[in-house]
């Protein structure tokens, strides 16, 4: 009986594969790291073959750990690191070089030129702020630096793909890209099409592009040679979109925040894109049954990394989790404010010249005040993004669903709820990304008849209801940010 599904989460640092049953309960899993390559300062690449082997071997290992055969698997769900760009020879599938990872800055000059020339128009079309982060400038860089491939690219002998597209090519032998992934290329408009004006302007031939498919449905069939029998791919979404789905954020105003190294916030906007006045990204969340849902996105660069810095840089903590107890040791941070602008500030400031700072220190400030100020800074940054989203949407969010390693910190989650004035909800399974891919596939398989059914399969670990909040803390934070901006 086909009573299991596989969810693949091909992330930046590694690949997680889950095997789940019809109720989306975990049967087995695997995790494989993938090597990171830094060929020059600011450049990041992955070997396409190591991405592929981590997925294939990961699927085999997870099945073994779940004690299941491939013949028992009804379908596959896939989620992936977004924007990362690959090129291959269409006839053989042979990669033409390393994958250019989303973090890679090699195309920064090209993106900056575009932003200066047509930034507003690009934003209106794609919802994205022209930056090296997105695929388009990576493609342009690649064509500029490989003149020998330009002709072949125009003739359709070369294929471009994001990671979902590359994996569909390898697994199923089709050149297709899922729509939420396409919406991160900066070549795809919010109406849901490849944008001919942008392709033209950027000098990117349409012949390299894949067919774009919806997020749910029979999106390809995994060849029998890989896992022992054919398996349909039934759901795909980019990682943050998959997490939004996995957190069951289906109503406008429902949002999720992933607390990891940085924070990734996404808010459900419903069936109309919301263009931001606060430098947030507007993006396609998914397309199901012919209907596009849109999201508003904001990223904070430093969150868990600030706690890592307390541990490894300053030696104030032995483990990240100690920060919770230490924050509780004091009544307040007593005026100490920390701005974690280690690498500048992300949304809504977008200032790469900002640098970190500690303000309000007195002779009475101790270790616990500093640790508490660092945790508070994470919540303040999230509040900045949520306030920007609320202003763009014209209403406050109804609830924030959280996940990621740092969401385990109960003190921080309560402080976050107090700051936002909305309930913070933490699910039992904090791997929302992989869970979201599983849920999309379950919908494709008909195991869920509509997305909302996910609400009954998802278990909530804890809710943090907002309590009183002294407005002075956030006001001090805003002052501190002002002084950290444009530091360099």
As measured in angstroms, the least distance from the Cβ of 342 to ligand ADP is 12
| In the block, residue with structure tokens 């125009």 | 154
Burial of 33 (0-12, 13-18, 19+ CB in 10 A): exposed
As measured in angstroms, the least distance from the Cβ of 374 to ligand ADP is 9
- CB nearer to ligand ADP: pick between 377 and 409: 409
Q: Does 397 bind ligand ADP (CB under 6 A)?
A: no
Q: Does 304 bind ligand ADP (CB under 6 A)?
A: yes
Looking at 305, 432, 433, 484, which residue binds ligand ADP (CB under 6 A)? 305
Interatomic CA distance for residues 166 and 204, integer angstroms:
19
DSSP code per residue over 316-337: --SSTTHHHHHHHTSSS-TT-E
Contact region with ligand ADP (CB under 6 A), list: 103-111, 173-181, 221-229, 401-409: 401-409
- CB nearer to ligand ADP: pick between 308 and 365: 308
Contact region with ligand ADP (CB under 6 A), list: 81-89, 145-153, 358-366, 402-410: 402-410
Looking at 408, 421, 453, 487, which residue binds ligand ADP (CB under 6 A)? 408
Of 331, 348, 408, 411, residue with least CA distance to 376: 411
- CB nearer to ligand ADP: pick between 15 and 293: 15
- CB nearer to ligand ADP: pick between 170 and 256: 256
Instruction: Please confirm whether the linkage preceding 284 is cis (ω < 30° from 0).
Output: no
- Neighbouring CB atoms inside 10 A of 11's CB total 18
Contact region with ligand ADP (CB under 6 A), list: 59-67, 95-103, 172-180, 303-311: 303-311
Interatomic CA distance for residues 468 and 327, integer angstroms:
17
Tokens describing residue 205: 């031939």
Q: Rounded to the nearest 5°, which phi and psi values hold at 125?
A: -80, -45
| Stretch 51-90 residues interacting with ligand ADP (CB under 6 A) | none
Tokens describing residue 257: 């925040």
Q: Does 409 bind ligand ADP (CB under 6 A)?
A: yes
Q: Does 14 bind ligand ADP (CB under 6 A)?
A: no
As measured in angstroms, the least distance from the Cβ of 388 to ligand ADP is 22
Cα three-residue angle 465-467-471, rounded to 5 degrees: 130
Contact region with ligand ADP (CB under 6 A), list: 74-82, 197-205, 244-252, 319-327: 319-327
Largest CA distance in the chain: 70
| Stretch 432-471 residues interacting with ligand ADP (CB under 6 A) | none
Non-local CB neighbours of 258 within 8 Å, separated by 6+ positions: 240, 243, 264, 265, 402, 403, 404, 407, 432, 433
- CB nearer to ligand ADP: pick between 89 and 324: 324
| Stretch 257-276 residues interacting with ligand ADP (CB under 6 A) | 260-261
- CB nearer to ligand ADP: pick between 288 and 430: 430
Looking at 207, 320, 330, 361, which residue binds ligand ADP (CB under 6 A)? 320
Q: Does 404 bind ligand ADP (CB under 6 A)?
A: yes
Q: Rounded to the nearest 5°, which phi and psi values hold at 152?
A: -60, -35
- CB nearer to ligand ADP: pick between 250 and 342: 342
Buried b (16+ CB within 10 A) or exposed e, 287-313: bbeeebbbbbbbbbbbbbbbbebbeee
Kindly give the pairing relationship between strand 254-259 and strand 399-403: parallel
Contact region with ligand ADP (CB under 6 A), list: 71-79, 112-120, 217-225, 301-309: 301-309
- CB nearer to ligand ADP: pick between 411 and 474: 411
- CB nearer to ligand ADP: pick between 48 and 404: 404
Number of residues that bind ligand ADP (CB under 6 A): 15
Handedness of CA 97, 102, 103, 104 (dihedral sign): positive
Whether 84 contacts 99, CB under 8 Å: yes
Interatomic CA distance for residues 476 and 277, integer angstroms:
24
Q: Does 10 bind ligand ADP (CB under 6 A)?
A: no
Q: Does 414 bind ligand ADP (CB under 6 A)?
A: no
Looking at 36, 72, 118, 308, which residue binds ligand ADP (CB under 6 A)? 308
- CB nearer to ligand ADP: pick between 182 and 413: 413
Whether 89 contacts 160, CB under 8 Å: no
Looking at 67, 251, 321, 332, which residue binds ligand ADP (CB under 6 A)? 321
Looking at 107, 323, 416, 433, which residue binds ligand ADP (CB under 6 A)? 323
Query: Bridge partners of 255?
Result: 267, 400
Residues that bind ligand ADP (CB under 6 A): 260-261, 304-305, 307-308, 320-321, 323-324, 404-406, 408-409
């Amino acid at each position: 009986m086909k009573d299991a599904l596989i969810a693949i989460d091909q992330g930046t640092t590694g690949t997680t594969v889950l095997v789940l049953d019809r109720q989306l309960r975990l049967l087995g899993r695997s995790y494989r790291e993938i090597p990171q390559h830094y060929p020059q300062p600011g450049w990041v690449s992955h070997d396409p073959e190591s991405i592929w082997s981590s997925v294939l071997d990961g699927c085999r290992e997870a099945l073994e750990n779940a004690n299941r055969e491939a013949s028992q698997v009804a379908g596959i769900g896939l989620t992936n690191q977004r924007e990362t760009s690959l090129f291959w020879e269409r006839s053989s599938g042979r990669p033409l070089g390393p994958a250019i990872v989303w973090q890679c800055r090699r195309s920064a000059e090209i993106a900056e030129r575009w932003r200066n020339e047509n930034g507003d128009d690009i934003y209106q079309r794609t919802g994205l702020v022209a930056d090296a982060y997105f695929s388009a400038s990576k493609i342009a860089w690649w064509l500029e630096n490989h003149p020998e491939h330009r002709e072949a690219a125009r003739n359709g002998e070369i294929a471009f793909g994001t990671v979902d597209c590359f994996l569909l090519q390898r697994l199923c032998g089709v050149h297709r890209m899922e729509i939420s992934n396409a919406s991160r290329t900066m070549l795809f408009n919010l109406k849901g099409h490849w944008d001919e004006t942008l392709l033209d302007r950027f000098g990117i031939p349409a012949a390299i592009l894949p067919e774009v498919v919806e997020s749910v449905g029979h999106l390809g069939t995994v060849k029998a040679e890989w896992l022992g029998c054919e398996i349909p791919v039934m759901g795909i979404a980019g990682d943050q979109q998959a997490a939004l789905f996995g957190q069951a954020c289906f109503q406008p105003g429902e949002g999720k925040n992933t607390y990891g190294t940085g924070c990734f916030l996404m808010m459900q906007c419903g069936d109309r894109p919301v263009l931001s006045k606060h430098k947030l990204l507007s993006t396609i969340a998914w397309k199901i049954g012919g209907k596009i849902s849109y999201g508003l996105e904001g990223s904070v660069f430093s969150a868990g990394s600030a706690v890592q810095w307390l541990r490894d840089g300053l030696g104030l903590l032995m483990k990240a989790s100690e920060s919770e107890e230490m924050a509780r040791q004091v009544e307040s941070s007593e005026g100490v404010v920390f701005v974690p602008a280690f690498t500048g500030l992300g949304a809504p400031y977008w200032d790469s010249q900002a640098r970190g700072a500690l303000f309000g220190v007195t002779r009475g400030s101790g270790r616990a005040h500093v640790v508490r100020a660092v945790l508070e800074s994470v919540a303040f940054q999230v509040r900045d993004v949520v306030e920007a989203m609320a202003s763009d949407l014209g209403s406050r969010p109804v609830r924030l669903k959280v996940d990621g390693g740092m969401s385990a910190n109960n003190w921080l989650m309560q402080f976050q709820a107090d700051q936002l004035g909305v309930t913070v909800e933490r699910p039992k399974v904090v791997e929302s990304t992989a869970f979201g891919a599983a849920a999309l596939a379950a919908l494709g398989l008909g195991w869920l008849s509509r997305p909302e059914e996910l609400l009954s399969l998802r278990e909530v670990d804890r809710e943090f209801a907002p309590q009183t909040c002294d407005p002075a803390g956030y006001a001090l934070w805003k002052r501190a940010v002002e002084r950290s901006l444009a530091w360099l």
